[in-house]
């Protein structure tokens, strides 16, 4: 029984730290997304050193980054929601 009580105390003490950590992670990821959006012409436009670097290839590069970023953002938001709702129980 002491083990369960110890785990409960650790969980109660860790919730505020997890809230702060995941809030910061979401803000950093959102900032990275805004930075990439602002610099997208530099990151995704035509590369003069590459042959056949056409419009479709540019869009594919951009979509790949957007899909990964969106997935990471959704996962972090889900975890953040779980952490913030854990204290309400």
Helix (H, G, I), strand (E, B) or coil at 33: helix
Averaged pLDDT, 53-68: 89
Asked if pLDDT for residue 88 goes beyond 70, the answer is no
pTM for this predicted structure? 0.75
For the chain, the domains span 2-86
Asked if pLDDT for residue 87 goes beyond 70, the answer is no
Percent of the chain at pLDDT exceeding 70: 96
Residue in the block written with tokens 């702060």: 20
Give the tens place of pLDDT for each residue, 9-42: 777 788 888 899 999 999 999 999 999 999 988 8
């Amino acid at each position: 029984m002491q083990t369960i009580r110890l785990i409960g105390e650790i969980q109660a003490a860790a919730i505020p730290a997890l809230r702060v950590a995941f809030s910061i992670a979401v803000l950093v990821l959102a900032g990275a997304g805004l930075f990439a959006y602002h610099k997208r012409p530099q990151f995704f436009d035509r590369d003069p050193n590459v042959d056949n670097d056409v419009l479709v290839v540019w869009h594919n590069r951009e979509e790949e980054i957007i899909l990964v970023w969106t997935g990471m953002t959704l996962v972090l938001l889900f975890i953040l929601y779980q952490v913030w709702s854990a204290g309400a129980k």
